[in-house]
Amino acid sequence: MYIEPNNRFTLDILFDKLEMSHTLDLRQRLEVDSPTISVADLLLAKMQIHQINEKDIKDTIVLFRAHQLADSDNDCINESYIARLMSKDWGFYYTVTDNLKKTKLLLQDYNIDQPDKSDVVSKIDRLLARIENEPKTSGFKLRARIGEKKKWYNEVDETIREVKEWQ
């Protein structure tokens, strides 16, 4: 993490994978969009957080409001990519779908025009349905049997990083 010396912005720099509550492997996805990760990967980066916070909920609402769902990454939330990824990993699926449902509930607490709220809710519902309808792998099904009895996410420490100016 780079924090600009005057605290005007911070920058997260990732190499290949985002490893937090869940691992998001970006090696085959880094060239999908430029200069950042794709919208779908950005959404997953927000939704994979086990202890999600209000900032990530708000960012998710903005992503849904600003982008359409599609089966491509062309400035869209790639719902087929997300559904395929979720069908392979029960823990990742559980966290993401739970956070999407939380986002939908918390959306009602924000001062957003009703048409915008309806747009976000319909997109979340559509994505959740797409995820549910995607055929699950045998590994997913086996892990789903265990469910919440075994921890399904990685603990993420909030560490204080020393701020250093780039030389």
User: Quick one: pLDDT at residue 76?
Assistant: 94
Establish if 110 belongs to a structural domain.
yes
Establish if 61 belongs to a structural domain.
yes
Residue 5: is the preceding peptide bond cis (ω within 30°)?
A: no
User: Quick one: pLDDT at residue 95?
Assistant: 95
User: Quick one: pLDDT at residue 167?
Assistant: 30
Q: The tokens of 115 are what?
A: 């048409």
User: Quick one: pLDDT at residue 32?
Assistant: 74
pTM: 0.80
pLDDT in tens, the chain (167 residues): 678 888 888 776 666 767 777 777 776 766 776 666 779 988 998 999 898 989 999 999 999 999 999 999 888 999 999 999 999 999 999 999 999 999 999 999 999 999 999 999 999 999 999 999 999 999 999 999 999 999 898 887 643 333 333 33
Q: Which long-range contacts (C-beta less than 8 Å, at least 24 apart) are formed by 102-110? A: 102/52, 102/57, 103/47, 103/57, 103/60, 103/61, 106/54, 106/57, 107/61, 110/58, 110/61
User: Quick one: pLDDT at residue 9?
Assistant: 80
If you ran DSSP here, which 8-state letter would residue 18 be given?
A: E
Q: The tokens of 95 are what?
A: 């966290």
Establish if 165 belongs to a structural domain.
no
How many other C-beta atoms are found inside a 10 Å radius of the C-beta of residue 113? Answer: 8
User: Quick one: pLDDT at residue 30?
Assistant: 67
Establish if 44 belongs to a structural domain.
yes
Provide the domain count of the chain: 1
Residues of the domain holding 125: 39-149
